[in-house]
Structure formats: structure tokens, C-alpha cells
């Protein structure tokens, strides 16, 4: 027996190979960010359970962009460096910009959107290099074998 759905909840089917459409709750700028991510990644990269996180990432990107623009206006000379209230506002903007950047990074890592997250076994190469360094032998095994053969050959010639 299926559970009845409320009429206001619209469930769209997840069609394999089709990129998810931006959520309706997003602004146009946020929808643009959504499409940048979904068009770049494989179709199955964003299953429905990740959509709220992707939407939040898009919001953080747009918010960070807006705060960055505010900071640029301040840097353009619209701020009086002797005005303590203006300096406090600048510090608040910088703090907000930093917080948005950290939030974006955290979301991107969770959604596996950073290059470090997408390269499988990237740290395996690092561990292998370390192991090779630790097991480094001064003389390659074939060199000692050739030297032994040369010694054996010189004994038979004598």
C-alpha cells in the first residue's frame, strides 16, 4: 500500500543520464551556479539527497561574491580610514567573507567537488613514494649480479 503524498509536494522522477534542474527556491544567480556544477560533473554525481547541499553551496557562492563586491567598493576609496564605525563595518565584511569562503570549501569537499576529492587514491601515490624512499637501496640488485658474474668470469680466465 502506497503512502499518500500531500498535494503541495511535487516529486519529480530521477531520470538516469539527465542533470537535475535547479531547485525552485534558488534565485536566478544561484540557479546559474547550480547549472555550472551540474553541467560539469557526470549526470549521476548529484543524486537527489545531495540537492539541498548543492543549493546551499550555490547560496554561499553568491553571498561570497556580493560581500567581495562590497569589500572592493570599500577598497576603491569609499571608506574613510579615520572613521571608526566604517572600520568596524569593514572588519565585519571581512569576517563574513572569510566565513562564506570556509562554508563554500566545506560544502565542496562534502560534495566531492575539489580536485583533491575527485582524484582517486591521490594519497596512495604519496604513500608509495615514501615507501620507496624508506626502502631505497644504494646499489640496484642487477648491479651486484653483474659484478658477481664479472668476478666469476675473471677467476675462470686465470
pLDDT tens string 18-29: 889 999 999 999
Asked whether the beta carbons of 20 and 51 are under 8 A apart, the reply is yes
Number of Cβ atoms within 10 Å of the Cβ of 108: 17
- From CA 87, how far away is CA 38, in angstroms rounded? 39
- Give the count of alpha carbons within 13 A of 98, CB side only: 6
Q: Which tens digit of pLDDT belongs to each residue from 106-148?
A: 999 999 898 775 565 556 666 766 776 777 666 666 666 666 6
Say what the pLDDT of residue 14 is.
Answer: 60
Q: What is the pLDDT of residue 111?
A: 92
Residue 53's pLDDT is 97
More confident residue, 96 or 85: 96
Cell of 129: 613514494
Residue 34, classified by CB atoms within 10 Å of its CB into exposed (0-12), middle (13-18) or buried (19+), is buried
Each residue's pLDDT tens digit, 33-91: 999 999 999 888 999 999 999 999 999 999 999 999 988 888 787 767 677 887 888 89
The pTM of this model reads 0.64
Percentage of residues in the chain with pLDDT exceeding 70?
Answer: 63
Amino acid at each position: 500500500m502506497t503512502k499518500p503524498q500531500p498535494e503541495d509536494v511535487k516529486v519529480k522522477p530521477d531520470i538516469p543520464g539527465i542533470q537535475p534542474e535547479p531547485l525552485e527556491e534558488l534565485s536566478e544567480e544561484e540557479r546559474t551556479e547550480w547549472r555550472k556544477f551540474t553541467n560539469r560533473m557526470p549526470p549521476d554525481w548529484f543524486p537527489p539527497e545531495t540537492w539541498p547541499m548543492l543549493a546551499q553551496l550555490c547560496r554561499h557562492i553568491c553571498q561570497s561574491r556580493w560581500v567581495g563586491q562590497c569589500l572592493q567598493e570599500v577598497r576603491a576609496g569609499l571608506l574613510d580610514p579615520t572613521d571608526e564605525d566604517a572600520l568596524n563595518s569593514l572588519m565585519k565584511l571581512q569576517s563574513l567573507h572569510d566565513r562564506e569562503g570556509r562554508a563554500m570549501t566545506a560544502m565542496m569537499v562534502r560534495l566531492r567537488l575539489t580536485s583533491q576529492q575527485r582524484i582517486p587514491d591521490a594519497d596512495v601515490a604519496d604513500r608509495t613514494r615514501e615507501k620507496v624512499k624508506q626502502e631505497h637501496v644504494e646499489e640496484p640488485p642487477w648491479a651486484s649480479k653483474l659484478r658477481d658474474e664479472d668476478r666469476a668470469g675473471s677467476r675462470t680466465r686465470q
